[in-house]
Amino acid sequence: MIVYLDNSATTKVRDEVLKDIIDINENYYGNPSSLHRMGLMAEKKIDEARKSAAKLINAKAQEIYFTGGGTESNNIAIFGHITNSDKHNNIITTKIEHPSVYNVFKQLEDKFSVRYLDTDESGKINTSMLNDMVDENTLLVSIMHVNNEIGIVQDLNEIKDIIKGKNKNTKLHIDAIQSYGKIKIDVNKLSIDTLSFSSHKIHGPKGIGGLFIRSGLRINPLTYGGGQERGMRSGTENTPGIIGFGKACELIYDNFEEETERLYSLKNQYIKRLTEEIEDIKINCPIDGGAPHIINVSFKDVPGEVLLHSLEGKDIYVSTGSACSSKSRDNRVLNAVKLSREYQTGTIRISLGHFNNFEEVEYVIENIKHSVKDIRSITKRG
């Protein structure tokens, strides 16, 4: 049995998506910018995919821009908002952002006053601190909706009210890469200016992402060329990727509530069995609520990387955190939520997706239990 539980890093492409990708490559391979029929047919397919991506967040199709992935979407949004600003401005983010946001803000410290929000021990941002930080010179606030490591969900309504209440001109960017397609988002009910999302987190292909930009908002592109994506992201469109992304969005939209409820139930079953079977563990994700697909658990006296490879030997695939920072020895997110060192080093992330089921749970829990016991017998003896 192969059990893939690293869906926050990437997901397996669904069969229906693969079918559409093959069809596009075989029958709709014209350049969407070409004026002949083959080009126009490809362009029409892209327009259909744009509508599908927009429906998941109740946006207009013309507010969706396709990019090369979530990292590019975040970069376009952040740099696009701040171009032509000066050092009198400040920008705000949190200490638990994904590297595609956090590292951009670190790079901007020479140009702006960069302010970092603390969180509580669950990962919720300090809203009093946010209220104090936003002022007449705040240009941009960038907040991750769902944290990719611990699954905490930020209250976007409260965040929006604080920011716009202090400065209506402050722009709000949301990294929704881990929440898009998993938690209901309605951009019309939120004063979100830009929002990023990604295909390969929702069982679509890699190398394609999306960026919502509210109608009427003008932000500057990072690249210039032939003017594709209405000038926001020049370069020949990745038509197969876009169509595959659109199909993945359709599949999620058609069964959203049912699939979300199934993932919550599966998550709860994993947490229940972990806490019943194994001593000296800490559950770092919200037990009630939180993202439906992310379980973060720490085992005392168990190096997380050793546990990961032990499970890999049994064809169970988990992670020790974000794939984008997996080589780092220091976990910025776990530090921010003040997880003690004795547990922090023994942390793994189990992340669920469409292909996971309840039949896998006992197999996974039994193997984690035996692996933890074997590893502890060595670490405690040493």
The answer for 151, left when phi > 0, alpha when psi is -120 to 50, beta otherwise, is left
Phi, then psi, of 130 in degrees rounded to 5: -60, -45
- Exposure b/e, 252-280, CB count within 10 A at least 16 = b: beeeeeebbebbbebbeebbebbeeebee
Pairing of strands 3-4, 316-317: parallel
DSSP character string of 41-72: HHHHHHHHHHHHHHHTTT--GGGEEEES-HHH
- Count each helix (H run) and each strand (E run) in the chain, helices first: 12, 12
**Mind spelling out the 3-state secondary structure of 270-317?**
HHHHHHHHCCCEEECCCCCCCCCCEEEEEECCCCHHHHHHHHHCCCEE
3-state secondary structure of 75: helix
Tally the C-alpha atoms within 13 A of residue 71's C-alpha that lie toward its C-beta.
Answer: 9
Residue whose C-alpha is closest to residue 105's, from 157, 175, 156, 152: 175
Give the contacts of 378 (CB within 8 A, at least 6 positions apart): none
- Catalytically active residues are 324
DSSP state of 207: S
Phi, then psi, of 88 in degrees rounded to 5: -75, -15
Cβ-count burial of 380 within 10 angstroms (0-12 exposed, 13-18 middle, 19+ buried)?
exposed
What are the C-alpha distances in Å from 364 to residues 137, 256, 316?
Answer: 51, 26, 7
Contact 210, 53 (CB under 8 A): yes
Residue whose C-alpha is closest to residue 350's, from 367, 336, 374: 367
Distance CA 352, CA 4 (A): 8
